[in-house]
Every structure is written in C-alpha cells, then in structure tokens.
Structure 1
Amino acid sequence: MRRRHFLSRTAGMAGAAALGLTGCGSGEAADRNVTLKVLAASYGKSVGSSIVDQWHTAIRAFEKKHPAITIDLELVPIGEIERTLARRVRSGQAPDIAQSYVFADYAGAHQLYGAEELFSIPAQADFITSFARAGEVDFTQYGIPFLASTPRLFYNKRLFERAGISGPPTSWSALHEAAVALKASGVRTPYGLQFGPEAAEDEAMAWMLAAGGGCASPSGYDFAREENVEALSWVRSRLVAPGLAGSDPARFSRTPAYAAFLKGEVGMMTAHPVLIKAAEHARLPYGHAAFPRRSGGTAPPLGLSDWLMAFRRNGHRAQCGAFLSFLYSKQVATRFAAGQGTLPVTVSGSESLRAQASQRPLWEFLDQMPKAEFPPVGRSSWPTVRDAVRRRIGQAVTADGNPRQLLDTLQATAGAAEDAADGSS
C-alpha cells in the first residue's frame, strides 16, 4: 500500500504545522478543560454490534492520556444518524465530531475542519490514498474514513460442494453456471442479489464496475453509459429471469440477505468483512473471492466507508485533532477495526492487522483497498441520487423492467440534483 503524496499541498500543510498541529495528538490540546460532543451510530443487534464496546474502550484510554478532555459520546441508531446530524446542525447544535454517510454538504458550507487542520503531516499521510481521496471536496479532505470495507463475493462451501462446483466463479458465465447448479441442487437463492432499499447502490455499483462502467466520472454522473446498461441487462436476463436470484431481488436487502446466507439459504453474494465473524460463529463453511469481471478476472473493488467529520462551530480544533489522532493511531485503529470486522484505513493499521495471523481472513480485503473505487460521496448531490438508486434500481431487473430506461431516469435525477446543489451553494 502506498503512502499518500502531498506535494501539491505543501503550502497548506506548512501552515497547519505552523499552528502547532504536529503536536495535537500528544498533549498540545490539554491547555484547558473541554468536553467534546461526539455523535456516532449504534447498530443494535445487527452484525457488528460490538461497536459500542469499541467506542467506550477507546474513550477510556484517550481520557486517561488526556485528562483535560472529556468525550461525551451519544449513540443513535444507524438508520437515524444522517437525519439526527442534519437536524442538530440546522438548529445550531452541531457536535464537535460526528459519524455519517455524508459530509459534502457540510464541507461545502465551510462547517468542517479539513484533515490538514486536525492531523500532523505524517498522520494524514498514513491514510490509504484511495479512501482519503474519496473524502475530499475540492481537493481538500474533510471526510475521515471510518468503518471501511471493500466487499467480496462470499460463497457457501458446503452448498458449492453439494452442487458439484469446484470453486468460486471467475467470470460472469461461470457465476451463471454456478447459480444454475446451485438451483438444481435445491438452493433457494443461488445468488443473493441485493437490490432492496437498504443499500442497493452498493450491489448495483459492483456489477457496473465489473462490466467496465460506473455511476460517475470526474466531469459528473454517468449512469446511462453502455457498460451499465449491459450489466443490468445481464443480471435481469441471466440471473433474475431464470429464478437464480431469489423470489424478489428488487426487495431483497442487505440485512435479510446476510441472515439468509447464515442460514444456508443463499449460495453466494457480495458482502462486507463484518460477515466473517458471524459466519464463523454460525459454523458456516464459507469462502470469499474477488468479484469477477464480466469476461473473466478480478473486477475493480468497490470502496465503502462511513465518515467522521469535525465541526468548526464550537472552536475545538485542537481537541478534535487530539481525539482523532488518537483514534487513528496504529494500535487503536487496528483494535477498533479488528473488533468490529471492518478494515483499518491507515497504512500502519493495515500493516499491523496483516501481521496478526488471527486476522488472516481479512488480508484479501486489505489487498483490495488501494484499488478501491467509490461512489461520488464528495458531491453534495450524492445523498439525493443515492436514495433514488435505492428506490428504483430494482425496477430495472423485474420482468417488465427496462435497464436502459431506468438508467436514463437516474441520469436525469442526478442532473437535477446537481443543479439543485449548485443553486444552493
């Protein structure tokens, strides 16, 4: 994994260093007693729910090291985190640090500290390049990646063996053949296509990338490109129409898909590394492989992350920097990620995790991180577009669906969202 190069930002970094930020993780912020309000997500009984313990362990260790800084942690359900944060910001009660799926609007409104204002130069350079750049708005990083993932194709080894399949598919034709064999052997859902409303954009983008497409380019959204049409058309005709993707893939979402996989009802599906511990706990014989390109080989990996951000409103730049620098230090970041079944987003954290034999199941996920490609999370319009994808993408693969028409509709929606975002800036 390559460390980030910041030659183009030397001047900005030098200014940050002049403010004393190179010491913000080692006591510089302890000049006065401050309480930092941190708004973060809880996950209830879902896979990966141990995050509450991870937060409290990290906070206790930080407060012991920084007795002048108290962390006031508020946890809200993951499904409410975006709305809760937006409501707090509108009412003038922005927290000091918040977790969310989105950050671009707050960055565009100049409400956030840039990463160079929070981290020392070596600490900022430690972020894996692909994830750090995904957190940028106008070439400045505001979104700090957190709970990262690069999904892979999980498969049930027992079901594969029963169906006479020797290993994971390495092309779409092989994936289709495996799904046919799984169905013939009695598997209810050979491929768990997750086009339901929970996170359909992740599934859709995995297929688009594997066909050579994607939903955006540097110049804007690009839903209607021919590769995307071909990807959805293939899914519709080769998986959904012959009943190889379950009874209603347009409504099948990530959480029920994970549950069905753990029950042995799904032969293969894309999933996050958080599924590993659950599968091991269920004593499910699983494997995982890179998602295949259409014509064979490894598809570009999809990068996903929640984001932390630090708000300017309360003026606690140094204290926010101290806490975040601690949270992303090698030991803490590694323990947080390993305990949560996610991936550390720093080079040092990844190297530390890779040195642990007990974390071997995560190594191939780590290998994908430098090459990860992201949805356009740095665009203020993305939340609107993302929600449209979640509501509509399943229509493209129904019996009367029209992939080209659906993608044209999403492109029009994206254009209108961009215009609205530009008009409000």
Structure 2
Amino acid sequence: MGDPALSRRGFLAASAAAGLSMTALSGCGGDSDGGSSDGTTTIEWWNISTTQPTKDVWAGLARKFEAQNPKVKIKIVQLENDAYKSKMTALTASGKLPDIFHTWGGGVLKQQVDAGLVEDLSDRTKDWAETLLPVARQPYLLDEKLYGIPFDIGMIGFWYNKALFKKAGISAPPATWSAFLEAVTKLKSADVAPLALAGKEKWPGMYFWAYLAMRTAGAGALQKANEDKDFTAPGLVQAGEHLKDLVALEPFQKGFLGASYSGPTGQAATVGNGKAAMELMGQWAPVVQADAGKGLGDDLGFFPFPEVEGGQGAITEVFGGGGGHALRSGAPQAAVDFLKFFASEATDLELVKKTGVLPVVPGAESAIADPNIKAVHKELTAATGFQLYLDQAYAPALGQEVNDSVGALIAGSKSPEQVTESLTSVAKEEQ
C-alpha cells in the first residue's frame, strides 16, 4: 500500500507549492468523533455542490437524514471544484480529513488510502453497496477493497446549441474530427463563437487532449502511458497536434483564458446564454448552464466526441467518471448510515429528478425525463471502453501536470511534444 510517511510528505510538498495556509485549515477535518455532551453526533460533510438546484437539494437531504436520526447533525462545507482540491490536498498533508468527503476515486483516492486516512468500507457497507451499478463503483475499488460510495456516473461529451448550428448551416452533429473542425469554421463564418472554454481553470481543456488521445492511440493508451511512465508515444503526440489544429482556428470565446467554469461570465454561462455554440463537458452541464445563465431548453443537444480518422480508438470509448463519497479513517457509524441513506433508491430518484445526475441504483433510470440526459445514459450504457478523468485517474502531481501542460498548449506556450515530455518527466519523478 506504500509508505504513509512518504505519501504525507508528497502532499505537504504539493500544498507548500500551492501556497496554502495549514494554519487556516487546522480546524477542518476529523479531529474528534463529533460527539457532544447531549449524545448528539456531528458529521462534517465536504462536497462540491455549489450550484443550484443541487446545493439546495443536498441541503434538504441532509435535513431529511437529521429528521430520521435525531441524534445526528450534518455540518455541510461546500467548495468550488478547484478550491476543494487545493484544500483537500492540504488536509491530507495534515493527516486529517472530513468525516464525509467528495471523491472521484482513482489515483487521488489511492494516495489518501496509502496515507492511512480513508476508511475501508468493504465490510461496513457490504449488505447494500454491492447492489450499486458496477461501473459506478469501479473508481473506488482499490486492491478489491471499497473506499467510496458513488452517487453519480457519467461521461464527457459535446453540448451544443441547435439554433446556432442551424444558423451556421450545420445539419447534424459532426461524427469525425475533420467534420468537427469544418463545423467550427462554419460557426465562425456565421459570426458565432464555436466553443466556450474555462481557460482559467485548466481542467476543462484537459478533456480535449484526453479524448483526442483516446481517439488516436486507443482507450488503453492513457493507462499504459501511466504504467510505463512514458507519454511520448506517437499517438499521444498526435493528440496534441490535433488539439493545436483546433486552437489555430481560434474557436473559443473572447477572453477564454481568464474565464471560470461556473461564474456569471464563465464557460457554462456563455453556452447557457447563447453566446457560444458548444462546450465539452459532463452530464451536469445543462444544470450548470441554467444556473449560471439562462439555459437553452429545447435548443440544447448532446453528441459524443467525434472519431479521429485513422485513429486506433472508437467513438464508443468514453471518457468521464462520477462523484462519490469517502469517509475518514475511524469515522463514526452515523457517517456510514448517511452514505447508505444517500445511496438509497428514494434518494437516487430525487437526485435524478431534481439535479440531473445519472443513476447508480438499478431501476432509478426510470426517473430520467430530460432527453439529453437520456442520450448520455444511452451512450454510457453502450460504451465499449471507459477512461476515468486524468486528473483523478493519475496521482495528484501528474494529474495536475496534465491540466497545466494542456492548458499551456491551448494558450500557445507549449508544443504537443513538450506536453508529452512534461508528463513523462513528472510521471518518472513519482516512481
């Protein structure tokens, strides 16, 4: 499982590099069992559900759980994606995690597990967790032990404005990369920004390179590169070249390098307000578009990432992941009870109906009403290959380097070859 001391040193180095204040965070995490003199247990729940309606729905679920369990109080801490990652890195370095915390699984969770900070849920959840969808549980299984409970599963794809496509004379979503580039050119000719991108946050740009790598080199190439500590394979360099071709068309909205994802002038709002024709984003996109902007209603459509002609990958190989919850080591039984409540059919039906997540409880797909979410669900269930988000599948330093290097490529300061060389260098440092 690795040396916990080494793992903690790695996280300390990362948090120091990020300039984080450990003093400011010293009050967070599981310092005690959360008990009080009147027998009430307080559970701290950290999540990233900062946009509506999810924020209020989750708060309502916490209140419902408290009503069913009068001796338990849920303290909710909600942080935006990047702020959450930074603070969790610092908390991991300090050796203290929240009672319940959001996780995407993969390499980040593994480092927390290796540091001895995460509860093994295998036995404590066995009677109900094994009924959840296997593909949704997969990112949280490490050495055949379960360290997280999923609440969502999905994939990244293109969300597009049908009215803007029609304006540009695009009759159908592109199925090949060359057709996609042609669609970008048509949109620009129609005076429409083809794509919205949150360049400031880096991770949305990573999706382009990851998918292009899967399409050129095949679904297994990214996992093999990580295992071999070598990202310089021709297919991975070609992925960067394809992305460079897209960037050369200047497809993104004005000021994209300083744009956030969910802010009022960010990526989601740009699409939701009809200011750009497409974004490459996950199944949560319609909800965030509507919260940050006006939302597109019936004008919103979805299509999978196109096939790259001559590439090794298939259009049915998907990139994505889901959200889950893990517990700090030694978390009280009330925290396990909350995970069971959150993974119940009643809760999953409410999440599907009100927040647009894809179900993890078998049978809950009957609650999917949005045709676009149905389209995502159909693509996901027909998938012939699956790759977890790279900034979660890989160890934290390598995942961050993917985001940073691809961001530099998009900004024009790194070549496709330099991206793969940087990833290889960081991967070897982590050996």
Aligned to 1:191: 195
- Select which of 281, 298, 305 maps to 2:315: 298
| CA distance in 2 between partners of 1:111 and 1:234 (Å) | 41
Aligned to 1:105: 111
Deviations 1:362-399 (A, max 9, x none): 112223445432146776x6211122222221333455
| CA distance in 1 between partners of 2:209 and 2:261 (Å) | 12
The structure-2 alpha-carbon separation of the partners of 1:80 and 1:118, relative to structure 1 and needing over 3 Å to count, comes to: farther
The structure-2 alpha-carbon separation of the partners of 1:236 and 1:80, relative to structure 1 and needing over 3 Å to count, comes to: closer
Aligned to 1:262: 272
The letter for the 2-side match of 1:295 is E
Aligned to 1:20: none
| CA distance in 1 between partners of 2:207 and 2:328 (Å) | 28
Aligned to 1:228: 236
Matches within 5 A, 1:117-136: 117-121=123-127, 123-136=128-141
Aligned to 1:311: 328
| CA distance in 1 between partners of 2:348 and 2:279 (Å) | 28
Deviations 1:222-264 (A, max 9, x none): 5322222112202212x22233345676666544222221232
| CA distance in 1 between partners of 2:159 and 2:267 (Å) | 12
Further displaced range: 297-306 or 156-165: 297-306
Identity of aligned residues (%): 20
| CA distance in 2 between partners of 1:338 and 1:205 (Å) | 30
SS at match of 1:358: coil
Deviation at 1:287, TM superposition (A): 0.9
How many residues matched?
374
Further displaced range: 266-275 or 60-69: 60-69
The structure-2 alpha-carbon separation of the partners of 1:139 and 1:251, relative to structure 1 and needing over 3 Å to count, comes to: farther
SS at match of 1:301: strand
| CA distance in 1 between partners of 2:325 and 2:132 (Å) | 13
| CA distance in 2 between partners of 1:224 and 1:144 (Å) | 35
Deviation at 1:186, TM superposition (A): 1.0
Give the TM-score taking structure 2 as reference length.
0.76
The structure-2 alpha-carbon separation of the partners of 1:158 and 1:79, relative to structure 1 and needing over 3 Å to count, comes to: same
Deviation at 1:209, TM superposition (A): 1.8
Deviation at 1:360, TM superposition (A): 3.4
- Select which of 53, 56, 63 maps to 1:53: 56
SS at match of 1:115: coil
Cα RMSD, aligned residues only: 3.0
Further displaced range: 94-103 or 320-329: 94-103
**Is the Cα–Cα contact under 8 Å of residues 198 and 261 in structure 2 kept in the other structure?**
yes
Matches within 5 A, 1:110-259: 110-121=116-127, 123-187=128-192, 189-192=193-196, 196-199=200-203, 200-213=205-218, 214-217=221-224, 219-237=227-245, 239-246=246-253, 254-255=261-262, 256-259=266-269
SS at match of 2:369: helix
SS at match of 1:164: coil
The structure-2 alpha-carbon separation of the partners of 1:211 and 1:362, relative to structure 1 and needing over 3 Å to count, comes to: same
The structure-2 alpha-carbon separation of the partners of 1:279 and 1:140, relative to structure 1 and needing over 3 Å to count, comes to: same
**Is the Cα–Cα contact under 8 Å of residues 223 and 411 in structure 1 kept in the other structure?**
yes
| CA distance in 2 between partners of 1:403 and 1:229 (Å) | 5
The structure-2 alpha-carbon separation of the partners of 1:53 and 1:230, relative to structure 1 and needing over 3 Å to count, comes to: same
**Is the Cα–Cα contact under 8 Å of residues 156 and 281 in structure 2 kept in the other structure?**
yes
Aligned to 1:327: 342
The structure-2 alpha-carbon separation of the partners of 1:225 and 1:358, relative to structure 1 and needing over 3 Å to count, comes to: same
Aligned to 1:406: 419
Aligned to 1:9: none
Q: Does 1:363 align with 2:374?
A: yes
**Is the Cα–Cα contact under 8 Å of residues 229 and 403 in structure 1 kept in the other structure?**
yes
| CA distance in 1 between partners of 2:300 and 2:400 (Å) | 32
Further displaced range: 276-285 or 200-209: 276-285
- Select which of 262, 274, 283 maps to 2:284: 274
Deviation at 1:201, TM superposition (A): 2.6
Q: Does 1:287 align with 2:304?
A: no
Deviation at 1:165, TM superposition (A): 0.8
Deviations 1:333-382 (A, max 9, x none): 231244233323x242xx32x32363333112223445432146776x62
**Is the Cα–Cα contact under 8 Å of residues 352 and 367 in structure 2 kept in the other structure?**
no
Deviation at 1:403, TM superposition (A): 0.3
SS at match of 1:56: helix
Deviation at 1:282, TM superposition (A): 3.1
| CA distance in 2 between partners of 1:406 and 1:265 (Å) | 30
The structure-2 alpha-carbon separation of the partners of 1:144 and 1:225, relative to structure 1 and needing over 3 Å to count, comes to: farther
Structure 1: gaps spanning 5 or more residues:
1-31, 420-425
The letter for the 1-side match of 2:140 is G
SS at match of 2:305: coil
Tell which has more relative contact order, 1 or 2 (C-alpha 8 A, sep 6+): 1
The structure-2 alpha-carbon separation of the partners of 1:319 and 1:287, relative to structure 1 and needing over 3 Å to count, comes to: same
Deviation at 1:153, TM superposition (A): 1.0
| CA distance in 2 between partners of 1:365 and 1:71 (Å) | 32
**Is the Cα–Cα contact under 8 Å of residues 215 and 375 in structure 1 kept in the other structure?**
no
Further displaced range: 269-278 or 86-95: 86-95
The structure-2 alpha-carbon separation of the partners of 1:368 and 1:113, relative to structure 1 and needing over 3 Å to count, comes to: farther
**Is the Cα–Cα contact under 8 Å of residues 358 and 377 in structure 2 kept in the other structure?**
yes
